[in-house]
Structure 1
Amino acid sequence: MPVELRKRKAPAPPPEPPAKKATTAKKAAAPKKTAATKVAEAVKETVTKVAEAATFTNGAAPASDKPSVGDVISLEGFGGEVTFQTGDFTTLAALVEKSKKGVVLFTYPKASTPGCTRQVCLFRDEYTSLATDSGFDIYGLSTDSIRANTTFKEKQKLPYELLCDPRASLISAIGLKKAPKGTARGVFVVDKSGKVLAAQAGSPEGTVKVVREVVEGLGGDKGEEKKNGEVEEKKEEEEVVTEEKKEEAVAAVEEKKEEEEKEEEKKE
């Protein structure tokens, strides 16, 4: 009888080794700031602030962001909308359009404060020569409320309108907005073509002086009339002189003729 061979069972696979627990990497502790590091950072921050402040003149916007004298600006949409102290809306383009020669905007930080009162009164006292005779329309411009500017105008008896620009859109456009907020005292003059004739910060007296120089430089209506009058007067004087010379010449001819006639009579 044949012998039956039994097959051996395959040995069971060895058990897998237990998974190792993931070790969390320890975060490197941030180095502690030394006193010297803190001082260095403070100095750097101060230098940065000083450098930023140095880019402003009298608190006004950087020169690169504002129109300069001689520039021709596009008036349409320039500076957005502002309101008169009456509450009516307007724009710089509309103000220039209805003016005879252009617009003068002088800015002031806050209505009814000493410096601003002095400034508006200086423009009030020279209004005839700076506006009426020049053909330019003058406006005060600030971020004050309608109520504040109405009181200001009535109390100081101002002959010109005050413009309210609470968002400082126009003030910023002409480069007289302080950083981060506030209004720099200054003046901006633009003619009918959009050419900038003046754009700078200044004192109450300084802003009036700038406008006076612009008006005197252009001559104004009265200056033009005076010039035309001088030309006419000179022309009349020349005509009188010419007429006198003609009369003298005629008289000389007649006198010579009389002398010749007398000589002829003597000969006879």
Structure 2
Amino acid sequence: MPVELRKRKAPAPPPAPAPKKQSKTSKVATKVKEAVTGKTAESDKTNGSSKPAKPVVGDTITFEGFGGEVETNDGTKTTLKALIEESKSGVVLFTYPKASTPGCTNQACLFRDSYEPLTAGGLAIYGLSTDSPKANTTFKQKQNLPYTLLCDPSATLIEAIGLKKTPKGTIRGVFAVDKAGKVLIAEPGGPAATVDAVKKLVAEFDGEAKKEELVAEEAKPTNGEASEEKKDEEKEAEQPEDPEKTAE
């Protein structure tokens, strides 16, 4: 007879270890982590999509509320909207990290030395930084700057034009906008590069103005055409009236 083999029973699995008790310190750490993570996620949802993108050349911005309120170096409160309204054709803002430092002094003096040709077409130039009115006034007086310096300690305007460092600080650059709100320049750059960008813009303005003048000149009749038209008018005036019409 064949021998019948008995199957051995599988050994029972070992009991699961009891969960370790979490210490008070680790509990607090976990709660803090959850709170921070939750707030960050909520903040991302709230601010991530609603944060306005920095303006680029060709964009049209709305001046109402743009950049908040800033202060001139002499203590006057103002806004970009007010500066635009005071200008003839637009506003140029060049940003600098800190008044009276070497790079910022170089930049401010380059704008000073080119001030007349840059503003001849109606652009108004302003320096913009997070410095206090006192610091900017000292800077302006020491360097004989012909333009106003704007103080933006909260960096609201600096951030609005896309030249704020994260988390803190100012990127050196230049921003220009015309009276219709069209962004003409919006770029970071060194002291010379920021001035050159405005020079290029002014040259483009001058070129367009000259083209308009040429078109206007071409539309005017030449001396020969004008004299011929005058002769025709004189001939018409000299012609006698039709007797039949006179009899009527």
TM-score interval, normalised by the smaller of the two chains: 0.5 to 0.7
Structure 1 segments of 4+ aligned residues over 6 angstroms from their partners: 233-236, 240-243
Q: 1:230 to 1:194 in 2, by over 3 A?
A: closer
Q: Match of 2:203?
A: 216
Report the Cα distance in structure 2 between the residues aligned to 1:234 and 1:212, rounded to whole angstroms. 30
Shift of 1:228: 3.4
Q: Match of 1:109?
A: 97
* Equivalence map 1:189-268=2 (5 Å): 189-219=176-206, 224=209, 228=213, 239=223
Unaligned 5+ segments in structure 2 are 1-17, 23-51, 228-248
Q: 1:240 to 1:148 in 2, by over 3 A?
A: farther
Report the Cα distance in structure 2 between the residues aligned to 1:229 and 1:179, rounded to whole angstroms. 48
**1:178 corresponds to 2:162:** no
CA displacement 1:234-260 (0-9 Å, x = unmatched): 979x538998xxxxxxxxxxxxxxxxx
* Equivalence map 1:1-268=2 (5 Å): 25-27=18-20, 65-131=53-119, 133-219=120-206, 224=209, 228=213, 239=223
Q: 1:230 to 1:72 in 2, by over 3 A?
A: closer
Report the Cα distance in structure 2 between the residues aligned to 1:191 and 1:82, rounded to whole angstroms. 19
State the secondary structure of the residue aligned to 1:219: helix
Report the Cα distance in structure 2 between the residues aligned to 1:183 and 1:83, rounded to whole angstroms. 17
Unaligned 5+ segments in structure 1 are 1-24, 30-63, 244-268
CA displacement 1:68-108 (0-9 Å, x = unmatched): 10000010000000000000000000000111000000000
**Structure-1-length-normalised TM-score:** 0.62
**Structure-2-length-normalised TM-score:** 0.67
Indicate the structure (1 or 2) with the bigger Cα radius of gyration: 1
How many residue pairs match? The answer is: 183
